[in-house]
């Protein structure tokens, strides 16, 4: 389930790397992001170099190659200047052996504190997110990273976002599963 994505300007990577810093073309604030897949790909795949945005309260898990890949001088510049932000999230079970949570450049941004409150390699505690017939994206309990052990970022007080005590798209309670009753998971 992909709850948020960044839409880049369409131009070649070399051109993006040569451009001067600019205002974000895409400023997607995600208060409810959960990236869970077993498809080949990368989280926020196709966002493009030089794309800016804010991703908070996220879980990235199950990607076959790498969890998050931030690379190229323009993307790294956006991150260093605060225009590309990742915070309050978990990277778990990514890559061929389950331990490739990010590329070297992404891990450097996490380890240096540019991307804050990002937990690497710890199970977020989702119930049954890889069940193809009836996935359950809720945290198993409040005693999990997803359930509230990793405090979520406080959302903007703009009337759109709701402050919650969990990370990801779905809370731990039965009443929190907004996918129930209308979301279908057809097998192809």
pLDDT score at 29: 40
| pTM greater than 0.85 | no
Query: What is the model's pLDDT at position 169?
Result: 87
pLDDT in tens, 89-113: 999 999 999 999 999 999 999 999 9
Higher pLDDT, 188 or 44: 188
- Find the mean pLDDT for residues 106-129: 95
Instruction: Tell me the CB-side half-sphere exposure of residue 174, using CA atoms within 13 A.
Output: 1
pLDDT at residue number 48: 64
Length of the chain counted residue by residue: 188
Whole-angstrom distance, CA of residue 65 vs CA of residue 94: 7
List, for residues 47-101, the tens digit of each pLDDT value: 566 778 888 999 999 998 998 988 888 889 999 999 999 999 999 999 999 999 9
DSSP string, 65-128: SBSB---SHHHHHHHHTTSEEEEEEEEESBSTTSB--B-HHHHHHHHTTSSEEEEES----EEE
Is pLDDT at 13 greater than 80 in this prediction? no
DSSP-derived secondary structure letter, 30: E
- Given a cut of 50, whether residue 43 has pLDDT beyond it is no
């Amino acid at each position: 389930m992909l709850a948020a994505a960044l839409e880049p300007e369409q131009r070649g990577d070399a051109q993006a790397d040569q451009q001067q810093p600019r205002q974000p073309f895409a400023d997607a604030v995600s208060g409810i992001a959960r990236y869970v897949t077993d498809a080949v790909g990368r989280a926020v795949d196709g966002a493009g170099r030089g794309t800016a945005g804010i991703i908070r309260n996220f879980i990235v898990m199950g990607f076959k190659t790498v969890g998050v890949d931030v690379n190229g001088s323009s993307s790294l510049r956006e991150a260093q200047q605060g225009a590309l932000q990742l915070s309050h999230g978990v990277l778990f079970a990514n890559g061929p052996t389950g331990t490739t949570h990010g590329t070297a450049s992404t891990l450097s941004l996490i380890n240096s504190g540019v991307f804050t409150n990002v937990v690497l390699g710890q199970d977020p505690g989702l119930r049954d997110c890889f069940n193809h017939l009836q996935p359950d994206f809720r945290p198993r309990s409040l005693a999990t990273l997803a359930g509230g052990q990793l405090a979520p970022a406080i959302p903007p007080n703009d009337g759109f976002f709701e402050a919650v005590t969990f990370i990801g798209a779905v809370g731990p309670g039965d009443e929190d599963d907004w996918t129930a009753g209308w979301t279908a998971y057809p097998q192809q």
